[in-house]
Structures are given as C-alpha cells and as structure tokens.
C-alpha cells in the first residue's frame, strides 16, 4: 500500500522510495530507505542492484511494492530526469 506518490518517489509505511537528480546517466532505478537501511533497485528489468542491511524477507516485500508501482515509478523517473536535463 502506497501512502504517498510524488514526482520524486513514494512513501509506503516506513519506506521512502526516491530518485537522485545527479544520476541521469544510469538506467531507471530507485533507492529505498528505512531507518539506517538502504537498497537500490533497477526498474527495467526489476532487479536488486545493491543492499545495505535489509534482510532477505524484507527485500522480497520491497520488490513486490516496487513491482506493484513500477509503471508509476518509471513515469516519475522519466519526468524527474528529463526535467533536470
């Protein structure tokens, strides 16, 4: 369940899903933070790029959340990055 979706990402429960403006040369991806944990997911195809502390079960939940919102995240990514060029 997504609590908030904006041009910069989304919030869902304790998770913040967002983009960085200074990464326009990378494929579409999102960063996910909760407390001091962080992960990076590629959006096309959906895959874990990096994990900094999330346990495997939580990573699976994050992947499902991102997959359920992938089209909206891709739209937001392309709008965000093209606005920065």
Distance between CA atoms of residues 81 and 3, nearest Å: 23
pLDDT tens digits for 63-77?
999 999 999 999 888
Distance between CA atoms of residues 25 and 22, nearest Å: 8
pTM (2 d.p.): 0.84
Q: Is residue 12 in a domain?
A: yes
Q: Is residue 69 in a domain?
A: no
Q: Is residue 81 in a domain?
A: no
Number of domains making up the chain:
1
Q: Is residue 17 in a domain?
A: yes
Q: Is residue 74 in a domain?
A: no
CB within 8 Å of 9: residues ≥ 6 apart: 16, 17, 18, 19, 30, 73, 76
pLDDT tens digits for 30-46?
999 999 999 999 999 99
Which structural domain range is residue 30 located in?
1-55
List % helix, strand, coil for the chain (3-state, nearest 5): 35, 35, 30
């Amino acid at each position: 369940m997504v609590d908030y979706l904006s041009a910069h990402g989304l919030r869902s429960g304790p998770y913040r899903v967002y983009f960085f403006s200074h990464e326009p040369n990378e494929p579409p991806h999102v960063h996910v933070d909760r407390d001091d944990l962080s992960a990076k997911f590629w959006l096309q195809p959906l895959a874990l790029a990096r994990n900094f502390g999330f346990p495997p079960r939580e990573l699976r939940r994050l992947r499902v959340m991102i997959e359920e919102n992938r089209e909206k995240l891709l739209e937001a990514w392309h709008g965000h990055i093209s606005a920065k060029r």
